[in-house]
Amino acid sequence: MQRTESPLVVIAICLAALAGFVDALAFTSLGGFFASFMSGNTTRMAVGLGNDMPGVAAVAGALVMSFISGVILAAVVTRWRQARFRESIMALVTLLLVIAATLASLVPGPLVLIFLAMAMGCENGILHREGEVTVGVTYMTGSLVKLGQGLAGALMGDPERWAWTRYLFLWLGFVAGAVMGAASHGRWGWTALWLAPIASAVLAFALLRVRPKLSGPWAVH
């Protein structure tokens, strides 16, 4: 990993922590639905269809569609803003989280999850390279696969013996965020969701400050 990539790696871990926080809040508040884990929502949609639970299937399907909408929004912003796409996407994520937190304060319910899922879809566009998402920061399956592959390579003597650690820290960041989300919900309920846009705004400011150092994306091989 190049030295100039270090700020972006740290921000990626913080983004994973933010996703874990939001996902835990969503899961504990609204009956086991997810804001960032679309494989889980897809399974819930399929189980709902198979068990004749149209309400469950509809909510899960809506969350998947909302997540995809967030990804589309991030792609549009990336083409529009180009050199400043990371800061712009992070500002959009912050706005969506503010809307979700406001709704949670006024009318808590599934509509909150729609905006949370859209925000998480947007967040995946921040680590972007040549039309592809370089690192998924809101779901950990891919990171765990890369972690396992990196460990296998290290055991077999590959030159980059410690490349797997970046994925370990990404996973640990998500876990830490989820623990904080669950604990915060237990203490403050939906009010804890306001911590998410605050953290997102801090990350947007951080991206703005380190922008000159982000010329090279997080290289994933």
Please state the domain extents for the chain.
3-213
Phi/psi at 133 (5° precision): -75, 120
- Measured distance CA(197)–CA(219) in Å, rounded: 28
- Measured distance CA(74)–CA(88) in Å, rounded: 9
Average of per-residue pLDDT across 6-24 = 88
**Which CATH code is given to the segment(s) 3-213?**
1.20.1250
Average of per-residue pLDDT across 110-127 = 91
Angle at 49 between CA 43 and CA 51, to 5 degrees: 100
* pLDDT tens-place string over residues 143-156: 888 888 888 988 88
Q: What is the pLDDT of residue 24?
A: 94
- pLDDT of 80 > 50? The answer is yes
pLDDT band at 78 (very low <50, low <70, confident <90, very high): confident
One DSSP character per residue, 19-63 reads: HHHHHHHHHHHTTT--SS-HHHHHHHHHHHHHTT-HHHHHHHHHH
- pLDDT of 130 > 80? The answer is no
- Measured distance CA(87)–CA(83) in Å, rounded: 9
* pLDDT tens-place string over residues 150-197: 889 888 877 778 888 888 999 999 999 999 999 999 899 889 999 999
Q: What is the pLDDT of residue 6?
A: 63
- pLDDT of 2 > 80? The answer is no
- Measured distance CA(35)–CA(121) in Å, rounded: 9
Q: Is 124 helix (H, G, I), strand (E, B) or coil?
A: coil
- pLDDT of 4 > 70? The answer is no
* pLDDT tens-place string over residues 34-60: 998 898 999 999 999 999 899 999 999
Indicate yes or no: pTM above 0.75. Answer: yes
Q: Are 89 and 207 in contact (CB under 8 A)?
A: no
The chain-wide mean pLDDT, for the chain, equals: 85
Q: What is the pLDDT of residue 58?
A: 94
Which DSSP category does 28 fall into? H
Angle at which helix 110-123 crosses helix 85-106, to 10 degrees, equals 170
Average of per-residue pLDDT across 123-143 = 70
